[in-house]
């Protein structure tokens, strides 16, 4: 039976949404990996699968392009919310993820806003390999760590153009301090309301953007006192806004767009 999908992006951070609310979930780790192959599959940074849910419009599960699962994806959550709100002619819905129930809204400018849950800072929640202060990690460059449902490690640098993301990113991602690996951020602060962000994504390489990484980078800057509680995050592909008042959930707002929809044959 053919597998229907929607290919979408958020400032170039591309993802695929598959609706399995009314059918058995077809996605396995191997199938996610094959679909994520940019040469032999559809190609994406993340895959979001919509499942039936009793207490929300849908339950979302996520996969990286290498076939590894993840608990949350800010871009794909916004994309799924956009698709479901258009389907139901609503401007607000709730989705269930491993982060719990996330409220999603369409703004007056047609961007999508998602309450991404509260950030976590305890070493065991990120997780880190042993107990320490996540605000200042014992690594060269003095990074900070947090979790938005997935681990984030943030470096604040003077000049992003001097950072070789492809060299530094993989070594930090796999550092023994991060038993589940980590997303890696390199942040140049423009002013207290705006940052420039480049990313090495756990299981994905260098993306044009990332919703959860934008949240993690802004949160680590806010908790260090470097940023105000509303921050424009400029990634390679465009800008999102992150709001966090040092307590409660992080609010992520940005555009999403459907690129195309299609079907592919399900292979054994």
pLDDT digits (tens, 9 = 90+) for 41-71: 999 999 999 999 999 999 999 999 999 998 8
107 and 208 share one domain: no
Reply yes or no on whether the pLDDT at 172 is more than 90. Answer: yes
- Please answer whether residues 236 and 229 qualify as being in contact, where contact means their C-beta atoms are separated by less than 8 angstroms: no
pLDDT of residue 112: 98
149 and 100 share one domain: no
List C-alpha distances in Å: 86 to 39, 62, 156, 252. Answer: 31, 21, 39, 19
Using CB atoms within 10 Å of the CB of residue 247, give its burial: 0 to 12 exposed, 13 to 18 middle, 19+ buried.
Answer: exposed
Q: Is residue 131 part of a domain?
A: no
Reply yes or no on whether the pLDDT at 267 is more than 70. Answer: no
Q: Is residue 190 part of a domain?
A: yes
pLDDT tens digits for range 208-222: 999 999 999 999 999
Reply yes or no on whether the pLDDT at 1 is more than 90. Answer: no
Per the structure, the count of domains in the chain is 2
- What's the pLDDT band for 264 if we cut at 50, 70, 90? confident
53 and 10 share one domain: yes
Q: What is the pTM of this model?
A: 0.94
Q: Is residue 121 part of a domain?
A: no
- Could you tell me the CATH number of the domain that includes residue 57? 3.10.310.10
Q: Is residue 187 part of a domain?
A: yes
pLDDT of residue 230: 98
150 and 195 share one domain: yes
Residue 177: alpha-carbon gap to chain centroid: 21
Q: Is residue 11 part of a domain?
A: yes
- Please answer whether residues 80 and 60 qualify as being in contact, where contact means their C-beta atoms are separated by less than 8 angstroms: yes
Q: Which helix (H) or strand (E) holds 239?
A: strand 238-243
Tokens of 265: 């044959």
Tokens of 19: 């609706």
pLDDT tens digits for range 238-250: 999 999 999 999 9
Reply yes or no on whether the pLDDT at 131 is more than 60. Answer: yes
206 and 260 share one domain: no
221 and 260 share one domain: no
pLDDT tens digits for range 192-206: 999 999 999 997 789
Give phi and psi for 41, each to the nearest 5: -125, -150
SS3 234: strand
159 and 242 share one domain: yes
88 and 182 share one domain: no
108 and 148 share one domain: no
Cα–Cα distance measured from residue 7 to residue 13, given in angstroms and rounded to the nearest whole number: 11
- Please answer whether residues 163 and 173 qualify as being in contact, where contact means their C-beta atoms are separated by less than 8 angstroms: no
Percentage of residues of the chain with pLDDT beyond 70:
99
Q: Which residues pair with 257 in a beta bridge?
A: 9
96 and 177 share one domain: no
Cα–Cα distance measured from residue 129 to residue 151, given in angstroms and rounded to the nearest whole number: 12
Tokens of 145: 């760590």
260 and 235 share one domain: no
Residue-number span of the structural domain to which 163 is assigned: 144-248
95 and 160 share one domain: no
pLDDT of residue 3: 86
Q: Is residue 18 part of a domain?
A: yes
pLDDT of residue 203: 79
Computed over every residue of the chain, the mean pLDDT equals 95
Question: Which of 19, 77, 83 lies closest to 51 in space, CA to CA?
Answer: 19
């Amino acid at each position: 039976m053919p597998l229907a999908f929607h290919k979408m992006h958020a400032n170039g951070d591309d993802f695929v949404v598959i609706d399995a609310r009314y059918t058995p979930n077809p996605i396995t780790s191997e199938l996610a990996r094959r679909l994520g192959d940019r040469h032999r599959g559809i190609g994406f940074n993340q895959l979001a699968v919509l499942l039936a849910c009793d207490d929300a419009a849908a339950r979302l599960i996520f996969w990286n392009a290498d076939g590894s699962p993840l608990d949350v994806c800010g871009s794909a959550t916004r994309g799924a919310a956009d698709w479901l709100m258009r389907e139901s002619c609503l401007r607000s819905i709730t989705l269930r993820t491993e982060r719990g129930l996330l409220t999603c809204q369409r703004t007056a400018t047609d961007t999508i806003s998602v309450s991404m849950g509260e950030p976590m800072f305890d070493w065991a929640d990120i997780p880190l390999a042993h107990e320490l202060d996540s605000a200042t990690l014992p690594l060269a460059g003095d990074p900070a760590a947090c979790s938005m449902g997935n681990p984030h490690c943030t470096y604040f640098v003077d000049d992003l153009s001097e950072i070789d993301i492809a060299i530094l990113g993989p070594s930090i991602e796999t550092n023994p301090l991060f038993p589940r690996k980590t997303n890696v951020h390199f942040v140049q602060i423009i002013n207290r309301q705006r940052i420039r962000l480049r990313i090495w994504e756990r299981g994905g390489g260098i993306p044009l953007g990332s919703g959860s990484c934008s949240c993690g980078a802004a949160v680590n800057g806010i908790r260090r006192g470097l940023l105000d509680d509303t921050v424009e995050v400029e990634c390679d592909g465009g800008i999102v806004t992150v709001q966090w008042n040092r307590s409660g959930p992080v609010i992520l707002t940005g555009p999403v767009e459907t690129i195309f929809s299609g079907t592919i044959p399900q292979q054994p």
